[in-house]
Amino acid sequence: MGRFFFIAKRFIAGESIENAVIVVKALNQLDLDVTLNLLGEGIKQPEQAESAVQNYIAVLDKICDEDLRANISLKLTHLGLNIDEEKCLEHLCQILEAAKERNLFVRLDMEGSLYTQQTLDIFYSLVDSYSNAGVVIQAMLLRSPHDIFVLNKIGASVRLCKGSYREPSELAVQKMPNIRSAYLSMAEQLLKDGNYPAFATHDDYLIDKIISYAEELGISSNQFEFQMLLGLRPNFQQEISRRGYRMRIYVPCGPEWMNYFYRRIRGNRENLWFVLRNLIRS
Ligand code: FAD
């Protein structure tokens, strides 16, 4: 285990699936649902994609064996999208098939804009065969309102997030107030015409607005869910759940945690303070 894992473990469930199961059980006990992610992206060797498939199938088995309230989220570059698209599709189908047999849902995370179209094309090619698959849209991208329009038309399940990759101004909104208003207008699109949308954010402002909008439209709390990341605002996660909304926690695990950890602290003052406080104490 890396030297700084003692700090990262607030955000990452551990390096093994067994550790992750302990974390998932604890969250389930607090009435929080989970989506489990095996850390890994932009792999270099085809064998890494093959082992990711085996590991994901082992996770699906664990979810069933341990009766966990969980599904999975994965990144296509973990399955080799950046090496061989055809192979990646095969890998994804193996996982989707295994999930379908177990009645479990699979979310395709969205990576940087280099992969947006490929990820959506793969999703569109599978959605008729696998209704247990969903995708992610990043509110910061200028193309996203159109993508949501198309996804709503086919009844796809969408997770909406702000977007965690740096993107150029030709492709993405840059300023936070503008990202927030883009997020809200896409949330409205999803609440009105979407299929059980998931709103991934820790932002009180957005959460309050989404709740009021759903109330105004007469959309009940079981027609959408909120999602947050492990270790971010844990009290707030429980508060939302206690208010009667489904809250799903994204729980990453695995030895490849450094990139993920870096993304959590980059540009987020609260998380950076948490890390610095722990470094000073240690
Ligand atoms: P921020 O913009 O970081 O913060 C907004 C406000 O929220 C802050 O001002 C503060 O009031 C509050 N806040 C935030 N964090 C804290 C904290 N730790 N303590 C106290 N207050 C806080 N991105 C992708 O690009 N692709 C994906 O597939 C993807 N999947 C995701 C899945 C989930 C479940 C989640 C939650 C996020 C995902 N993201 C993904 C990341 C997302 O795009 C954002 O980068 C990330 O969520 C930060 O935006 P935010 O709205 O949550 O909060």
Query: Which atom of ligand 1 is least distant from the CA of 176?
Result: 2
Looking from the CA of 24 toward its CB, the CA atoms found within 13 Å total 26
The answer to whether residue 282 scores a pLDDT higher than 60 is no
Tens-place pLDDT, residues 17-66: 999 999 999 999 999 999 999 999 999 999 999 999 999 999 999 999 99
Domain spans, the chain: 5-278
Q: How far is CA 58 from CA 63, 69, 192, in A?
A: 9, 16, 37
Tens-place pLDDT, residues 171-182: 999 999 999 999
**Which residue, among 135, 113, 114, has the nearest Cα to 123 in the 3D structure?**
135
Tens-place pLDDT, residues 191-239: 999 999 999 999 999 999 999 999 999 999 999 999 999 999 999 999 9
> pLDDT at position 267, please?
66
Q: For 72, which DSSP code?
A: E
Pick the CATH number of 5-278 from 3.20.20.220, 3.40.50.300, 3.40.309.10, 3.40.50.10240: 3.20.20.220
Task: Compute the radius of gyration of the chain from its Cα atoms.
Answer: 18
3-class secondary structure, 7: helix
Residues touching ligand 1 (Cβ under 6 Å) are 109-110, 136, 138, 161-165, 200-204, 227-229, 232-233, 250, 268, 270-271
Ligand 1 centroid distance, CA of 162 (Å): 7
Is 75 or 4 the better-scoring residue by pLDDT?
75
Residue of 39, 184, 201 to mutate, ligand 1, most atoms within 8 A of C-beta: 201
State the Cα–Cα distance between residues 269 and 45, nearest whole angstrom: 35
Query: Which atom of ligand 1 is least distant from the CA of 263?
Result: 45
Q: For 105, which DSSP code?
A: -
> pLDDT at position 184, please?
98
Token pair for residue 163? 């977007």
